Structure 1
Amino acid sequence: MPLLSTLKYHLRSITSVILLGACAIYGVVISCVFNVIGQKRLSQWSTARCFNLIMGGILGISFKVINEHYLNESAPCIFISNHQSTLDILMLGRTFPKGCTVTSKKSLKYVPFLGWFMSLSGTLFLDRANRDKSVNTLNKGLQRLVKEKGSLWIFPEGTRSRTTELKMLPFKKGAFWLAKEGKIPVVPVIVSNTSTINNAKLKIFNRGEITVKILAPESLENIETKEQMNEFVARIENEMNDELKNNVGYSTPIDSTGVPQEYLDWLAKKQACDSTTDVETESVDVIDANVSANDEAVTSDNESTAVSADVEVHNITVSSSRKK
Structure 2
Amino acid sequence: MVFLIEEEQRNSVKQNVQIYGEYYNGSGISWLLDVFTSWETLFAIAFLILIRNNLTIYYIKFIFGYIVINLCALTVIPLCLFRPKNPSNFCHIYPYVVSLTKFYGVKWELRGSEILAVDRAAVLMINHQSVADLNVLGSIYPTIKKGVLVIRRLVMFSFPLSLLIYLSSAIFIDRTNGKSANEKLLRSIGFIKKIKAKLIIFPEGKRNLNGDTLLPFKKGGFRLAISGQIPIIPLVISPYYFIDPKKKLFTHGNVIMKVLEPISTEGLTIDDIDELVENTQKLMCAEYKRLKDEVLAKDSI
TM-score, length basis structure 1: 0.71
CA distance in 1, matches of 2:153, 2:76: 18
Task: Tell me, in whole angstroms, the C-alpha distance in 2 between the residues paired with 1:111 and 1:170.
Answer: 27
Letter in 2 for 1:31: C
Q: How far does residue 224 in structure 1 lie from its aligned partner after superposition?
A: 2.8
Query: How far off its partner does 1:68 sit?
Result: 1.2
Aligned length: 250
1:220-262, Cα deviation, whole Å (9 max, x unpaired): 1232352x321121111011111111x211685xxxxxxxxxx
- Between the aligned partners of 2:63 and 2:293, the Cα distance in structure 1 is 24
Correspondence for 2:158 among 94, 108, 111: 111
What is the alpha-carbon distance in structure 2 between the residues aligned to residue 197 and residue 31 of structure 1?
34
The answer to whether structure 1 residue 168 and structure 2 residue 214 are counterparts is: yes
- Cα gap change, 1:130 to 1:9, in 2 (>3 Å): closer
- Aligned counterparts, 1:2-41, within 5 A: 4-35=53-84, 40-41=86-87
* Number of the residue aligned with 2:282: 238
C-alpha contact (below 8 Å) 1:65/1:213 kept by paired residues = yes
Displacement of 1:24 in angstroms is 2.3
Unaligned runs of 5+ in 2: 1-48
Q: Establish whether residue 200 from structure 1 lines up as the match of residue 245 from structure 2.
A: yes
Give the Å deviation of 1:122: 1.1
1:215 aligns with 2:215: no
Q: Is the 8 A contact 1:208 1:251 kept in 2?
A: no
Q: How does 1:129-208 map to 2 (within 5 A)?
A: 129-165=176-212, 167-194=213-240, 196-208=241-253
Q: CA RMSD in A?
A: 2.5
Distance across 1 between alignment mates of 2:220 and 2:67? 34
Q: Secondary structure at 2:74's aligned position in 1?
A: helix
Deviation string for 1:149-203 (max 9, x for gaps)? 11111010000011232x1000111111101111100001110001x22222121
- 1:65 and 2:65 equivalent? no
Structure 1 stretches of 5 or more lacking a match?
253-262, 275-324
Corresponding residue for 1:95?
A: 140
Per the alignment, in what secondary structure is the counterpart of residue 149 of structure 2? strand
Is the contact between residue 223 and residue 270 of structure 2 (CA under 8 Å) also seen in structure 1? no
C-alpha separation in 2, matches of 1:93 and 1:50: 8
CA distance 1:11–1:240, shift in 2 (3 Å): same
Q: Is the 8 A contact 1:197 1:251 kept in 2?
A: no
The alpha carbon displacement at 1:104 in A equals: 1.0
Distance in 1, matches of 2:160 and 2:277, equals 36
**Residue 185 of structure 2 contacts residue 220 of structure 2 at CA under 8 Å; is this kept in 1?**
no
Give the alignment's TM-score, normalised by structure 2.
0.76
